[in-house]
């Protein structure tokens, strides 16, 4: 595993960052309960806050992350019914269709487009046909007062404080159209779960079909991420 960039902030994450994300996490949990999903994986799960909201009898919950420090915090705060694994989310980790639902929240924006696509494709592959891949990440800021406050001032400031590499990934993410640019609506069917913080965050559920993510669609999505001026072909 590479250097653990989250070791210094892991002890503070649940006190500082998690409370800000609770509204989104509660909406995700409500959506999963509404759909009746039982086998759920949180990809790049961090300290496991999302999985703890889902912890209930009958649930099979799994979290993966490449930060040992974050996983150690997750295990301290979670019940033994939640399984955590130190794994690279860009690599194939579980058999195709293992889970009813996969969650990828607030992690794609810090990655290079090729790495973000690998995480997306791997997460989608792990979900059975008929299940959902839930994505939550920064979106194009709106022109509303809330959009200006969060999307143009508060969020960029927080991302800058997260470190140079993290901020560089965030800027590239926004330059390429944020979540809307990464996941074009013509590529997938999706349900909007919520759009908090003045619509500066988009949380949506992507329907996973039997065909999965084809190689041609993967290449089209990557091309669009690297050059948003070229729209991806319909798939």
What does the alpha-carbon distance between residue 48 and residue 63 come to, in Å, rounded to a whole number? 7
Q: What pLDDT score was predicted for residue 216?
A: 41
Strand ranges in 13-139 using DSSP code E only, listed in sequence order: 39-43, 60-65, 82-86, 99-105, 127-138
Q: Could you state, in order of their start, the residue ranges of all structural domains in the chain?
A: 10-226
- Where residue 109 falls (left for φ over 0; alpha for ψ -120 to 50; beta otherwise) is alpha
List the structure tokens of 210: 């039997």
Tens of each residue's pLDDT in the chain, 235 residues: 566 666 656 666 667 777 889 999 999 999 999 999 999 999 999 999 999 999 999 999 999 999 998 999 999 999 999 999 999 999 878 999 999 999 999 999 999 889 999 999 999 999 999 999 999 999 998 888 888 888 888 888 888 877 788 888 899 999 989 999 997 744 666 799 999 999 999 999 999 988 654 434 544 555 554 555 555 444 4
Strand ranges in 97-230 using DSSP code E only, listed in sequence order: 99-105, 127-138, 190-194, 201-207
pTM: 0.84
CATH class given for the domain over 10-226: alpha beta
What does the alpha-carbon distance between residue 36 and residue 46 come to, in Å, rounded to a whole number? 24
């Amino acid at each position: 595993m590479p250097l653990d960039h989250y070791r210094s902030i892991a002890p503070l994450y649940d006190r500082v960052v998690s409370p800000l994300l609770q509204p989104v996490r509660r909406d995700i949990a409500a959506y999963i309960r509404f759909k009746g999903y039982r086998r759920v994986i949180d990809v790049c799960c961090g300290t496991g806050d999302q999985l703890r909201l889902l912890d209930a009898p009958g649930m099979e919950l799994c979290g993966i992350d490449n930060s040992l420090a974050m996983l150690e915090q997750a295990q301290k705060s979670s019940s033994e019914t939640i399984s955590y694994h130190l794994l690279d989310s860009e690599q194939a980790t579980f058999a195709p269709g293992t889970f009813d639902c996969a969650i990828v929240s607030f992690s794609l924006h810090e990655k290079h487009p090729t790495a973000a696509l690998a995480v997306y494709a791997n997460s989608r592959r792990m979900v059975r046909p008929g299940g959902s891949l839930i994505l939550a990440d920064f979106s194009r800021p709106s022109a509303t007062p809330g959009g200006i406050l969060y999307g143009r001032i508060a969020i960029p400031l927080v991302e800058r404080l997260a470190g140079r590499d993290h901020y560089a990934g965030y800027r590239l993410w926004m330059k390429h159209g944020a979540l809307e640019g990464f996941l074009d609506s013509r590529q997938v069917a999706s349900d909007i779960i919520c759009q908090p913080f003045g619509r500066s965050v988009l949380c949506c559920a992507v329907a996973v079909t039997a065909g999965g993510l084809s190689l041609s669609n993967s290449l089209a999505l990557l091309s669009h991420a690297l050059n948003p001026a070229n729209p991806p072909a319909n798939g």
